[in-house]
């Protein structure tokens, strides 16, 4: 495929999961890719996938919650590739806790990355697009959680609902510059962030999820990447201000009752793994200047 040949894509949080899938897909479509993340190892692995596809990759350590870091990354991208045609505000975190226990730090980190980070990414990339005068395509990651919420999820949901509304305003402001802005609402996609919800292959969480999902399977980063490719490509020209849910039909599925002991045991293991990953990434997330 070559629908994006000659285009340059800038992706935040591209060192893992959905962001990595998007980088790979856009490279497959012909784009060169600026891969930004707080985690350089993950970003480098993604860059290797992009270069194996014959496209150019630029790895940049940038915290999307930092105005200076994200502005510097956008400047490096434009300086290196001479353009910036597609921006994907993908970086996101989830800090699940009940209201009685949520720490101010966890609340604030979610706002900083999921709302301020998306705003800073869109502002910096849109400024570059306006200056380059070639139009552009911007995609922001919202979530099924923008529509459905529940215990422990409400703070994450609030940030993702905010993304849906920001995108609608930005689409109005940037349309005259030839820039479209859209949001995607993934359901449960198998990535490190959602391991506790997606479970492992052949495990009890996965079996329960597959049984409840009309599409009969868990989501994959490629599913979301295909939609980004559409929004960024020639067929997406007339789409702006949209929010597209991609969840295999899960939104309206019956909610399961209390988890079985097998599901609860698997959830416990994923929570422990998630906590270990968080301890690794938190010091990087705290580097903002
Ligand atoms: N996986 C799902 O089921 C799911 C569902 C709905 C929405 N989403 C959203 O999709 C996006 C990607 O999620 P994922 O599942 O691929 O997560 P992930 O944890 O696998 O990947 C996220 C990447 O973002 C990076 N990151 C985190 N904070 C950052 C920051 N401040 N600056 C730069 N990089 C940062 C991490 O290092 C990681 O590489 C997120 O916005 C998430 O909220 C995911």
Measured between alpha carbons, how far is 251 from 247 in angstroms, rounded to an integer? 7
Cβ of residue 191 lying under 6 Å from some atom of ligand 1: yes
Interval 70-99 mean pLDDT: 98
Interval 112-126 mean pLDDT: 98
Whether the predicted pLDDT of 227 surpasses 80: yes
Q: Is residue 157 part of a domain?
A: yes
Which pLDDT does position 180 carry in this prediction? 98
Choice among 7, 61, 105, 156 that is catalytic: 156
State in Å: Cα 162 to ligand 1 middle.
Answer: 16
Cβ of residue 17 lying under 6 Å from some atom of ligand 1: yes
Which pLDDT does position 237 carry in this prediction? 97
> Could you tell me the residue range of the domain that residue 135 belongs to?
8-190+218-250
Whether the predicted pLDDT of 256 surpasses 70: no
Q: Is residue 13 part of a domain?
A: yes
Q: Is residue 206 part of a domain?
A: no
Q: Is residue 277 part of a domain?
A: no
Measured between alpha carbons, how far is 131 from 179 in angstroms, rounded to an integer? 12
| Torsional sign, CA 34, 76, 141, 287 | positive
Q: Which two structure tokens, joined as six digits, stand for 138?
A: 């911007």
pLDDT in tens, 98-107: 999 999 999 9
Position with higher pLDDT, 257 vs 247: 247
| Torsional sign, CA 228, 230, 233, 239 | negative
Q: Is residue 261 part of a domain?
A: no
State in Å: Cα 220 to ligand 1 middle.
Answer: 13
Q: Is residue 276 part of a domain?
A: no
Confidence at 254, pLDDT banded by 50, 70, 90: confident
Q: Which helix (H) or strand (E) element contains residue 221?
A: helix 221-232
The pTM assigned to this predicted structure is 0.95
State in Å: Cα 13 to ligand 1 middle.
Answer: 6
State in Å: Cα 284 to ligand 1 middle.
Answer: 14
Q: Is 105 a catalytic residue?
A: no
Which pLDDT does position 48 carry in this prediction? 98
Cβ of residue 18 lying under 6 Å from some atom of ligand 1: yes
Cβ of residue 115 lying under 6 Å from some atom of ligand 1: no
The label of the residue with tokens 């495929």 reads 1
Whether the predicted pLDDT of 81 surpasses 90: yes
Interval 145-170 mean pLDDT: 97
Whether the predicted pLDDT of 228 surpasses 80: yes
Report, in angstroms and rounded to the nearest whole number, the Rg of the chain calculated over CA atoms. Answer: 18
Whether the predicted pLDDT of 161 surpasses 90: yes
Whether the predicted pLDDT of 49 surpasses 90: yes
Mean pLDDT of the chain: 96
Q: Are 103 and 152 in contact (CB under 8 A)?
A: no
Whether the predicted pLDDT of 190 surpasses 80: yes
Total domain count, the chain: 1
Confidence at 163, pLDDT banded by 50, 70, 90: very high
The domain that holds 244 is classified in CATH as: 3.40.50.720
The best mutation among 35, 59, 91 to test binding of ligand 1, ranked by most ligand atoms within 8 Å of the C-beta, falls on 91
Which pLDDT does position 278 carry in this prediction? 92
Question: Closest residue (by CA) to atom 37 of ligand 1?
Answer: 39
Q: Is residue 88 part of a domain?
A: yes
Interval 107-115 mean pLDDT: 98
Interval 142-170 mean pLDDT: 97
Choice among 61, 105, 160, 243 that is catalytic: 160
Q: Is 156 a catalytic residue?
A: yes
Q: Is residue 111 part of a domain?
A: yes
Confidence at 1, pLDDT banded by 50, 70, 90: low
**pLDDT more than 90, % of the chain:** 93
Q: Smallest Cα–Cα separation from 197: which of 266, 286, 115? A: 266
The DSSP call for residue 254 is P
- Give Dmax (Cα) for the chain: 58
pLDDT in tens, 132-152: 999 999 999 999 999 999 999
């Amino acid at each position: 495929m070559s629908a994006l040949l000659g285009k340059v894509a800038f992706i935040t949080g591209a060192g893992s999961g959905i962001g990595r899938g998007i980088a790979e897909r856009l490279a497959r479509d012909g784009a060169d890719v600026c891969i930004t993340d707080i985690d350089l190892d993950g970003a480098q692995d993604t860059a290797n996938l992009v270069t194996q596809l014959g496209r150019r990759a630029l790895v940049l350590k940038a915290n999307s919650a930092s105005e200076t870091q994200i502005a510097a990354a956008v400047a490096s991208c434009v300086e290196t590739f001479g353009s910036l045609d597609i921006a994907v505000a993908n970086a996101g975190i989830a800090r699940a806790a009940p209201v009685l226990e949520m720490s101010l730090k966890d609340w604030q980190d979610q706002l900083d990355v999921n709302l301020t980070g998306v705003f800073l990414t869109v502002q910096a990339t849109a400024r570059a697009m306006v200056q380059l005068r070639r139009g552009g395509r911007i995609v922001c990651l919202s979530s099924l959680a923008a529509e459905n919420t529940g215990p422990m999820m409400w703070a994450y949901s609030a940030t993702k609902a905010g993304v849906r509304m920001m995108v609608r305003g930005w689409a109005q402001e940037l349309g005259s510059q030839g820039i479209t802005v859209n949001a995607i609402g993934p359901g449960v996609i198998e990535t490190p962030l959602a391991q506790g919800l997606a479970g492992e292959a052949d495990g009890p969480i996965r079996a329960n999820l597959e049984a409840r999902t009309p599409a009969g399977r868990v989501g994959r980063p490629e599913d979301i990447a295909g939609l980004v490719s559409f929004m960024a490509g020639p067929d997406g020209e007339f789409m702006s201000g949209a929010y597209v849910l991609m969840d295999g039909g899960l939104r309206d599925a019956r909610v399961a009752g209390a988890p079985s002991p097998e599901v609860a045991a698997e959830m416990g293991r994923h929570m422990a793994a998630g906590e270990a990953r968080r301890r690794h990434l938190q010091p990087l997330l705290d580097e903002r200047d």
